[in-house]
């Protein structure tokens, strides 16, 4: 999976890689004047006493995120690997974690990969039960994260994914820019057949 800044994939095509186009939304952290529907959802979250904040408990956030990962059919073995990776990122200052609490407890959380050198951040995971969607917790979390990243000198926030229609519609509400990126795959048998075909064609 190639980052969005790699737009020329001809070298992969020339070596008989197949490719697929994916999409993501990125947003500059300057001028955080979001659309009305985002503002109204944030207001709704305040009315429900939902309070987003930077979290200091990796365990609490991970336990909240793990429900979504299991829903996405992550195996126990893969969950262990992701847990070790995320924990190492957090402990070494490469990942920020956020939480949103209501009087009922933790209702939302997010894991953000954080690159101070390039002034970029990537929204790896953001989670809340579907039953909490009407509370505005997602908009509240995003709003808080944008402002926190700006205060840390981060210029660009990758919202990570815009291929699903409902998710894409929500993320576009933040005034984000749609960007494409590519996933390339290599199949040695298919590449051999393609090379053979071209060789025969050239001889003919």
Q: What is the pLDDT along the chain (204 residues), one digit of tens a residue?
A: 998 889 999 999 988 899 999 999 999 999 898 888 899 999 999 999 999 999 999 999 999 999 888 888 889 999 999 999 999 999 999 999 999 999 989 999 999 999 999 999 999 999 876 667 788 999 999 999 999 999 999 999 999 888 888 888 889 989 999 999 999 999 888 888 888 888 888 888
Helix, coil or strand: residue 131: helix
Which residue is associated with the tokens 């979001």? Answer: 34
DSSP helix/strand/coil, 203: helix
How far is 71 from 9, CA to CA, in rounded Å? 33
User: Residue 192's pLDDT is what?
Assistant: 83
Q: Which pair of tokens denotes residue 152? A: 């840390």
* Those residues with Cβ within 8 angstroms of residue 158's Cβ, 6 or more apart along the chain or in another chain: 4, 24, 25, 26, 120, 121, 122, 123
CB-side neighbour CA atoms (13 Å) of 155 = 3
């Amino acid at each position: 999976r190639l980052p969005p800044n790699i737009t020329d994939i001809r070298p992969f095509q020339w070596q008989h890689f197949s490719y697929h186009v994916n999409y993501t939304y990125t947003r500059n952290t300057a001028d955080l004047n979001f659309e009305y529907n985002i503002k109204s959802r944030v207001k709704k979250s305040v009315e429900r006493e939902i309070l987003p904040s930077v979290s200091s408990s990796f365990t609490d956030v991970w336990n909240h995120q793990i429900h979504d990962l299991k829903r996405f059919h992550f195996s126990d073995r893969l969950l262990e690997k992701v847990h070790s990776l995320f924990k190492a990122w957090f402990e070494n200052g490469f990942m920020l974690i956020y939480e949103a609490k209501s009087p009922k407890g933790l209702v939302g959380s997010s894991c953000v990969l954080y690159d101070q050198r390039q002034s970029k951040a990537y929204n790896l995971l953001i989670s809340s039960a579907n039953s909490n969607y009407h509370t505005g917790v997602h908009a509240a979390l995003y709003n808080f994260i944008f402002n926190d990243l700006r205060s840390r000198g981060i210029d660009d926030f990758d919202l990570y994914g815009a291929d699903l229609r409902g998710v894409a519609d929500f993320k576009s509400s933040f005034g984000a820019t749609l960007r494409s990126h590519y996933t390339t795959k290599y199949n040695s048998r298919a590449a051999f057949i393609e090379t053979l075909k071209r060789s025969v064609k050239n001889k003919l």
